[in-house]
Amino acid sequence: MKNVKTNAMRLLEKEKIAYELMTYEIVEGSMSPEYLADQIGKDVLSIFKTIVTVGHSGNNYVFVVQLTEELDLKKAAKAADEKNIELIDQRDLEKLTGYIRGGCSPVGMKKQFKTFFDERIGSFERIVVSAGKRGFQIEADPKDLVRATRAAVTDIKKDTKSIFR
């Protein structure tokens, strides 16, 4: 397992960005945010998920929000300067990004899509995102991840409470 290299890891290494690789056991049906946090020994609030969307124009966008939060599609559309945005069909995820559901990293996708990180990344010295393969996470400085993905940082989190809280 230690010899696994994903596109996300290769890109970070090419950009000389330091990261820590963490692994966890995949247990179907038991994959809660708390389970993941416990498995990798990190605060659940420092773990972020990657959401791939499509805008009214047909362009795709990537949004990164805390694992326990929801993406606000109206805020996302405004950030992307789109009339509206919706989640992509999950069956198209691998073809579009090179990653599968549960292993989608904002770093190292097949194509560089316009990417947005939620502004809450500024509260952390290091954040955790998928390493590009199920069972693998990477922890890095959020400023480095923003640089590697050429992302914007803005408020894209839904203001209501998540179902995980």
Could you report the per-residue pLDDT of 97-133, keeping only the tens digit for each? 999 998 999 999 999 999 999 999 999 999 999 999 9
Find the mean pLDDT for residues 72-97: 96
pTM score: 0.93
Secondary structure string (H, E, C) spanning 91-150: HHHHHHHCCCCCCCCCCCCCCCCEEEEEHHHHHCCCEEEECCCCCEEEEECHHHHHHHHC
Mean residue pLDDT across the chain = 93
